[in-house]
A = this chain, B = another copy of it.
Amino acid sequence: MRTYLECFPCFLNQALRAGRIATNDDSITKRLLDEIGMMLKEIPMDSSPPETGRLIYKKVSEITGNNDPYKEIKRENTDTALELYPALKKKIESSNDKLLTAIRMAVAGNVIDFGIDRKFNIETDIADILSRDFAIYDYDEFKAGLTKADKVLYLGDNAGEAVFDKILIEQIKKTVTYIVRDKPVINDATYDDAVHAGIDKVASILSSGTDAPGTVLKTCSAEFIELYNNANFIISKGQGNFEALSDEKRPIFFLLKVKCPVVANHLNVHEGDIIFKTANLLNR
């Protein structure tokens, strides 16, 4: 997905939120905003928003001196999710369609996102999403693809969300490689976060090599790119990965909650909608 004009005020908002979390010194955050302001003119409209997100969060680290402002928030989110885990597993066991319920839980986990400005209450949001209709729903294609696949490449998103991803991975019953960011960026899952969520018990964990808040291929490692190019079944979690990969002609299933009006317009759905969409259908 390209950058829209509406992304520009949002870039400044993202820097402001991250700056406020990284430092209590408003004069430092002001300097951060000044620098992001001057950066805007260099942003190509044909780049994807996470490419700019990468530059923004680099500036946050550089100017505030804090390389991982969301460290505690990520840990708290994961701990909260881990507390919910037993109850969620019970729900799966009593469900008619265990795979579908696990998919719904994986998208419910996507509400944990401090990169976008919204208050959230995790338990009510989960209950809401477990009972909601998907705005785009390619479940049949997903099942057909999964049956044929031997391995699954699973692109993680936020740290706390990984606990919910674990539930889906357990239900998929395939060999899964779980992909994390190489370095801390917003509240996205890194290797340590994925281990803390227990992903190492059900999948191998690999870094994509990127420090962008999305799988921006040109910033990924050769090792990941090879794995990605050879994968015949890819699950992509969250908006950042969607923005980075939406134009790809690969067997990707995007599973996300739509968290901004730009992505909503791009997909012709509403903000807040939940999406379960194949990449191929997207470009039909």
Contacts and interface: CB of A to CB of B under 8 A. Distances in A.
Interface of A: 5-6, 8-10, 12-13, 16, 19-20, 26, 29-30, 33-34, 36-41, 45
Given A5-B33, A8-B16, 10 more contacts: A5-B16, A5-B19, A8-B33, A9-B13, A30-B45, A36-B37, A37-B37, A37-B38, A37-B39, A38-B38
Contact of A5 (B6, B30, B37, B45): B30
A45 B9 CA distance: 19
B16 A12 contact: no
Contact of A33 (B19, B34, B38, B40): B40
9 contacts: A5-B16, A5-B29, A8-B12, A8-B16, A9-B9, A9-B13, A37-B39, A37-B40, A38-B38
A26 to B, nearest CB: 6
A8 B37 contact: yes
A34 B41 contact: yes
A9 B41 CA distance: 15
Interface centre among A10, A12, A19 (most CB of B within 10 A): A12
Contacts of A29: 5
A37 B12 CA distance: 9
A19 to B, nearest CB: 8
Contact of A37 (B6, B16, B20, B41): B41
